[in-house]
Amino acid sequence: MNEKKSTGKKGKALNIENFIATALEEYKTLRDESKQCSINMFSAFSIGLGVIGIAAISGFSLWGVPEGQFVSLIVFYAFIPIVIGSSVFLWLGEAARFKRVGDYICFIEIKLSLIFKELCKDNNFGEKWEFFQKRIEHNLKLPSTKLYLGYPLVWEQWLRDTRLIPTKRRFQAIGHLGWVYKSRLCSFMAIFALSWIVALILTFKYYKWEFPPTFSYISRHYFILFLLGGIVLLFLVFWGSIYIIGKELETKSKTIDLDEIENEFKKRPRHS
């Protein structure tokens, strides 16, 4: 009889070990994918800037050459904005993949936390760790989080939780650094706008708005307003769509409290 009990306990322990090993392997695979997404995002940003820099230098070098004025116009009106658009959408694609991986990593972390909670429930580790966690956060000058950090593998949850904690700092250096991502998009937006401004200056300076004789004085002004309005509209539509997509990717999750969820689970209506 005792032999059967020991065999059952051993089998149960073995199943838990296999579960944890499988979950850790899955966690490691997703972490590698997350790291690759981050690398791809940086590559899209840096390669895009490199191509834009080369194109801008070429455009400026052709600025004063009569034969190259039209080419310079095309560079600033079309080529640089197209490169920026391609880089931004590649960056957003990797950002969406990055968030998707992070979402599922949270599921793995919570599954493992439930197991570790059961394994640690017979000792005073939980109560002891809560005291240590508050002291560590205070000494490291970190914002105090409601998330219990006593179990291993809560990195993704911690990143999301600390990002939502109110702070007096304008640029906090903890959690998912949303301001870093926004600054990169804003730099692309500024270059996009600057490219069109340079193209307009080039048009004014070299082409001098030489309209056909049939164009009246009022028609010329309407044409200029139409051109500028079209540019502004395209700019707003493009970056408006980027803003909408970016807002969907922004992580605004709540703290995942295992005790709170477990209490709700116990209070749920049971179906006979």
Summarised one tens digit per residue, pLDDT across range 84-96 is 888 888 888 888 8
pTM value surpassing 0.75: no
Mean pLDDT across the chain, nearest whole number? 78
Give the number of other Cβ atoms within 10 Å of residue 102's Cβ.
21
Cβ atoms of 154 and 141 within 8 Å: the answer is no
Helix (H, G, I), strand (E, B) or coil at 36: helix
Which has the closest alpha carbon to 39: 97, 100, 107, 104?
97
Contacts of 125 (CB under 8 A, 6+ apart): 150
Q: What are phi and psi of 59, to 5 degrees?
A: -65, -45
* SS3 track for 74-89: HHHHHHHHHHHHHHHH
Amino acid 1: pLDDT = 47
Q: What is the pLDDT of residue 166?
A: 59
208 torsion bin: left (phi>0), alpha (psi -120 to 50), beta (else): left
The pLDDT score that the predictor gives to residue 40 is 93
**Residue-level pLDDT at 175:** 62
What does the pLDDT read at residue 36?
Answer: 93
Residues with pLDDT less than 70, the chain:
1-14, 122, 164-177, 206-227, 230, 249-253, 271-272
Per-residue model confidence (pLDDT) at position 28: 93
